[in-house]
Structure formats: structure tokens, C-alpha cells
Amino acid sequence: MPRRGPLQDLTVIDCTRALAGPFGAGLLADLGARVIKVEPPMGDGYRNTPPFLPDHAAPYEERSAGTDFGAPFAAVNRNKRSVCLDLKDDAQKDIFLQLCDQADAVVENMRAGVMDRLGLSYEVIAARNSKIVYACVRGFGDPRTGESPYADWPSLDAAAQSFGGLVHANDGLVTPAIADMFPGTLMALGVVSALHHAQRTGEGQFLDVAMYDAMLAFQKSAVAQYGFTGKVNPPGLQRAMTLYPFDLFPAKDGRISLAVAQPRHWDLLCAAMERADMMTDERSATNAARLQNVDWVETQIRAWTRQLTRAEILAKLDGNIPVGPVQNMADIFVDPHVAARQMLETCSPGGDNPDITLAANPIKFSATPTSLYQVPPTLGEHNAEVLAEFGIEMPAEPDNLRS
């Protein structure tokens, strides 16, 4: 299947590893950009994260299709091609720079200063390609956009969630790794925005997203609440701070969320519960009253939901208020919405491996539809193909370049 999408005219050199950066670069790839994943000789370490396909247990040379990645890698590196380069080697460093000469953007998520020490800083690349957009995700940002006392510290999802207040707000870590995925998303948005500017002005630029900053922005409401009141919320999910019900309730076969944002939603819920009295009861007639009497209101709703299955609750509410059954992946894979929206796509990694199913791009375009056109790549799978495409000659001794 050919590469499709609104970003088909863009070329992105992807030096990201693990999750945060690859997620953002993966969004650009899903939107149609030509994304070249540049990996070191040992590859992106995320390749080694399980679960794996059946042939992964065999020695590399004995695998039916040379599959060298697990599911987490596949999830964020579909629609990319892999080139293996040792950026500590002068000849291969020159290949990298030649790729950047023809690219629109370079993205990476290494610690501050790593690319600089390799002689591959934004300034070096921009001196050769003035329109280049250089974007990165860092734990605490890059000194180019603002010094941080933690700039040299490493960071992973758990650290960024903790620094940024999300762990306090939920009294625990949020999964999946939101402090990786949200910064990656912001990086992709930043790239598109900077490219828009570059196309108008001819000027590229550097941009970064700090994981800490992204978590702070993710909590705009909590920031505003503290800014208004000066009071720190208690730890744990705030189930009754602004709206109620806005919570999870037990059903016969699991849990279901009910969210009442408008007075009419409350009346419709009461009607479905056959509790017209709660529309006028002074303990529940208004949102303010329900917040004051949350334990009593919760008890009444739980008494109703626990008698019914999730499907029965959905049928009684009939789409009249925001409601959602707590689903696992088995539920999601058979949900008619997922099929109707084509949110699951399959591809074949080849050999004796079974087809794999991956999440599709959630941004749906009417004129420039996107697709899964490239299976997750093996390490260095596209060296010869990409270098030929860019008109770059292989180095004289490509011992650690796999083609």
C-alpha cells in the first residue's frame, strides 16, 4: 500500500528512542510523512521489550523474517523505515548529515548535549540546511529554550509524572505512560507548526518539549484551581471537586462511568433510575447540593447500577448522558465503534509470523486519508533503499551498516 496522508511532502529524520520521541515521530509517519528512523548499531533498545512474535526466540540468522522487535516497538514505529548508522564514525556521521540536508525536520529525545557532543547539533545541521526544523523531547527541556536546574538529569515517565503533579492528583502512576505519550504528541504538533512557519518564511528553528512541562500543561485545570484559591488539593483522584456524578460505579459485570455535566443530564439519569424524587431532593437537586452530599448521592446511584449489567445500563440511558463501560482490550476489539471507525489495522511481518494488529491513526481525513503502509522495520532494513533514494553513496567500509 502506498504512503498516504496530508504530510506526504515532508521528510523527517527520526533519531528518537524508547517511547516519548518515537510516539511523536510515529504520529508524523501515520500522517504520511516520510520518516527515516536512524538507529545505532545495537538498535533502539525498545526493540527488546516483550511480548515478541514466535520467531523472536530463535537466533537472528534463523528467524523466518528476521523479526527483531516486540509489540511496544511495533506500536510506535509502524510506517517508518530503519537506517542503521554509527554516529560516532565520521563516514557514517557524514551520511547522517546528508540525510538532514534533504530533510524538513530532525527529531530526537536524547539527554541535553548528546547530539552536540557528536558534532550533530541543531546549529551544525542548520548551517547546512537553514529551513530545518529540529525538535526534541527532553525530561527537563533544553538550555536553548530555558535553563533548568535539572537539565542534565535523565527522566522517564514515572519521574515526569511525579514532578509534574500527576502522581499526587491520582495518588499513583497513570498508565499507559502519559508522560511519554503526551510530550511526544506535543512535539509532533510543534514540528508541524514550525514547518508551517518555515514554509512561509524560509526559516527553520529549534523547539523542545520538556516532559515536566508537558505534565504541568496536562493539568491546566489543577493549575488554575491553585492559582485561584492557593489551596493544594488532597492527594488522589478528585471525584467530587467540580461535578457530581463524574465517577465510576459498579455493575453486575464490571464498572461503568457516569458523567453529569448539565442539569438536564441529572434529570435524565434520575428518570432512568426511576428516582424522580432525587430531581427535587435538597440533597441532590443541584450540582452544588450533590457535591455537599456526595456520599449519600453515590450510595443511591450505586444501589441502582449494581443491579444491572453494563449493557442494561447503557440501554436504559439510551445515549442521553455521557456514559462509558470500563472496557478491556478484549471488549474493545469487538466493539462496533472500533470496526466502524477502522481503528484497528493489521499487517504481516513476513515469514511464518502471524499478522499483527496495531492501533490506527485516530485523525480521520476526508480528502487525505491515512493508512498503515509500512510494517515496523527490522534494524537497518532500509539502509540500501534509503541511501539510494537520497542519492548517497555507501561508505567504503560499511562493516557495521546492515542493509
**228-276 pLDDT, tens digit each:** 889 888 787 656 578 899 999 999 999 999 999 899 999 999 999 999 9
C-alpha cell at 343: 481503528
Q: What is the CATH number of domain 11-218+340-389?
A: 3.40.50.10540
pLDDT of residue 181: 96
Element (H, E) at 17: none
Pairing of strands 344-347, 356-359: antiparallel
- The Cα 278–Cα 272 span in angstroms is 12
Q: What is the spatial distance between Cα 178 and Cα 184, in angstroms, rounded to a whole number? A: 9
pLDDT at 400: 53
Return the residue matching grid coordinates 548528546: 114
180 is catalytic: yes
pLDDT, average across residues 178-188: 96
The neighbour count for residue 395, using CB atoms within 10 Å, is 16
| Separation in Å, CA 17 to CA 42, 192, 291, 363 | 12, 20, 45, 24
Backbone angles phi, psi at 394, to 5 degrees: -65, 145
Query: Higher model confidence: residue 348 or residue 23?
Result: 23
Residue ranges of the chain that CATH labels 3.40.50.10540: 11-218+340-389
Task: Please check whether the domain covering 246-332 is classified as CATH 3.30.1540.10.
Answer: yes
Band (pLDDT 50/70/90 cuts) for residue 403 is very low
C-alpha cell at 130: 537553514
Q: Has residue 355 got a pLDDT over 70?
A: yes
Whether residue 349 is predicted with pLDDT greater than 60 in this model: the reply is yes
Domain with CATH 3.30.1540.10 in the chain: 246-332
CA 207 to chain centre: 18
User: Does 351 score more than 70 pLDDT?
Assistant: yes
Considering 157, 180, 213, 247, which one is annotated as catalytic? Answer: 180
